[in-house]
Amino acid sequence: MEKSLCLYFQVHQPDRLRLYRFFDIGNDSNYFDDFANRTILRRVAEKCYLPMNAIMLELIKKHQGKFRICYSISGVALEQFEKFAPEVLESFKKLAKTGCVEFLAETYTHSLASLISTKEFTRQVKEHAAAIKKHFGVKPTVFRNTELIYSDKIGETVSAMGYQAMLTEGAKHILGWKSPGFLYTNAIDAKLKLLLKNFTLSDDIAFRFSDRSNPAWPVTSEKYAGWLAECAKNDEVINLFMDYETFGEHQPQSTGIFEFMKALPDAVFAKTDLKFRTPSEVVAVHQPVAPLHVPFAISWADEERDTSAWIGNELQNEAFHKLYAAEKSVMASKDEKLIADFQKLQESDHFYYMCTKFFSDGAVHKYFNPYDTPYEAFINYMNVLSDFLIRVEKVNEGKKRKTAQKR
């Protein structure tokens, strides 16, 4: 029986908001902190993107096509590469030319649109697919939603857009006794295949790699390949999904993470019968075993594996619903700058910063958060949103006046 190992990396950098005060509302519509965006991107490029892309290219060449990986790169990350680190974009293009790398579709601005607006969700997915085609010369056939968010309904929409498969979380409360190590199908449209993240093995690298309190520390490539071999005794597919920034940024070079990655393929080939495959290759090789019923949205985040990290409190919900209530007016304006700002204000990161879950998952939320408190994040975002809504109203009022004058 064929056994597959699917390595998927998420690449995303948000458009960070500058400190936007109440007195800026109506006076200054410059929302984004380009200095912070550039500084952080350059740092992550040097620590992660450039060295990791060099390692990936070296491994692909060394193993003559047997080492295969996939990426999902948000549209806003691609924009930042073009603007602040073109050499990073070039290094991804080199990987694309090997034929051993698959690029997935996602929402252009890493948004939560799938939870509230099918029209905006569809529009962003099309825009992102066009960007992938432009930069890498390929049309994505597999989809990964922001934060691995998935439900039966979202999957149905993704299938209707023509995608053959989708990645999501192997959430325990959904799977029950079933294993994430098989291919499944959408419960409404069986044409859409589902690849489920093995969060235990993924988190062994992403979160526990350098944790000295972890009983399994140190995590060596040989030890990890042994865990994969054990898992593969019962599973057909092992899906390792993680942020690319794990390598060199979240897990610094000093932890040995790069050496681990360089040695991993040899260890996998020596200890297992697993073959590295991209998501579309997994779909081509394996047959789904059952439909997966997901009536309510799931994600990768926290113990709950739901959407509460982004829209789980009153602050988040007020900001989220107020933003999307303006969708129709924004699109009616046909104003490119307004639409671009509307898209950037949808980035999931803005809502994540407002999360008040500082209990079992607090360390994760604090690590990624530039604000001291979720309340600061909320106030800053709402100040920006207030100015944005004033601009939308002004543009549409101006259009109405012009139309009235013509009559």
For residue 82, the one-letter residue type is: E
The answer to whether the peptide bond before residue 180 is cis (omega within 30 degrees of 0) is no
In whole angstroms, how far apart are CA 152 and each of 180, 279, 291? 17, 19, 10
Sequence-separated (6 or more) residues with CB below 8 Å from residue 303:
360, 361
Helix (H) or strand (E) holding 242: strand 237-243
**Residue located via tokens 């597999």:** 142
Distance, in Å, from the CA atom of 67 to the CA atom of 82, rounded to the nearest integer, reads: 28
Identify whether the C-beta of residue 108 lies closer than 8 Å to the C-beta of residue 343: yes
In whole angstroms, how far apart are CA 139 and each of 102, 136, 156? 10, 9, 20
Which listed residue (79, 120, 147, 347) is catalytic? 147
Distance, in Å, from the CA atom of 12 to the CA atom of 34, rounded to the nearest integer, reads: 16
Distance, in Å, from the CA atom of 242 to the CA atom of 223, rounded to the nearest integer, reads: 19
Question: Which tokens is 340 given?
Answer: 């671009």
In whole angstroms, how far apart are CA 212 and each of 164, 209, 215, 366, 381? 41, 8, 8, 20, 37
Question: Which tokens is 164 given?
Answer: 């053959």
Identify whether the C-beta of residue 214 lies closer than 8 Å to the C-beta of residue 185: no
Is residue 147 among the annotated active site residues?
yes
Helix (H) or strand (E) holding 174: helix 172-175
Identify whether the C-beta of residue 388 lies closer than 8 Å to the C-beta of residue 345: yes
Question: Which tokens is 75 given?
Answer: 């549209």
In whole angstroms, how far apart are CA 308 and each of 18, 21, 370, 371? 25, 27, 19, 19
Closest CA to 95 of 167, 163, 9, 206: 9
In 3-state terms, what secondary structure has residue 102? strand
**Residue located via tokens 């390598």:** 247
Residue positions annotated with a catalytic role: 147
